[in-house]
């Protein structure tokens, strides 16, 4: 589901065969991402190019990852956000919360 490439203390996460971040897969994805945010001082980049839809459970998971990253002094960026996911981020005003790369 997730591919994680590590370069020093930078983790680049890509979603494989996943176009939706929703109630069906968000908890599993959240748990994998939370493990990465526990590595103090690291950089986490989520490549959202394949994500076309995010529901409330998906947004909740992203916010949990965001809060964990903040608490652990981990940088979190969303990159290559698809047009569809970007519209949803704007709709719920989370484009102001997350750093977009």
The mean pLDDT value for 48-63 works out to: 97
Identify which of 38, 36, 30, 41 has the alpha carbon closest to the alpha carbon of residue 74.
41
Give the residue extent of every domain in the chain: 2-100
What CATH code would you report for 2-100?
3.30.750.24
Q: For the whole model, what pTM was predicted?
A: 0.94
Contact predicate 91/84, CB 8 Å? no
pLDDT tens digits for 61-98? 999 999 999 999 999 999 999 999 999 999 999 999 99
Cα–Cα distance measured from residue 99 to residue 65, given in angstroms and rounded to the nearest whole number? 13
pLDDT tens digits for 5-51? 999 889 999 999 999 999 999 999 999 999 999 988 899 999 999 99
pLDDT in the model for residue 41: 87
pLDDT in the model for residue 39: 85
The bridge status of strand 2-7 relative to strand 10-15 is antiparallel
First to last CA, the chain: 22
């Amino acid at each position: 589901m997730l591919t994680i490439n590590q370069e020093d203390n930078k983790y680049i996460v890509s979603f494989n065969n996943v176009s939706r971040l929703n109630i069906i897969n968000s908890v599993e994805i959240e748990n994998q991402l939370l493990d990465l945010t526990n590595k103090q001082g690291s950089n986490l980049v989520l490549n959202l190019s394949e994500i076309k839809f995010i529901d409330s459970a998906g947004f909740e998971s992203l916010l949990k990852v965001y809060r964990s990253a903040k608490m652990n002094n981990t940088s979190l960026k969303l990159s290559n956000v698809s047009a569809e996911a970007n519209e949803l981020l704007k709709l719920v005003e989370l484009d102001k919360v997350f750093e977009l790369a």
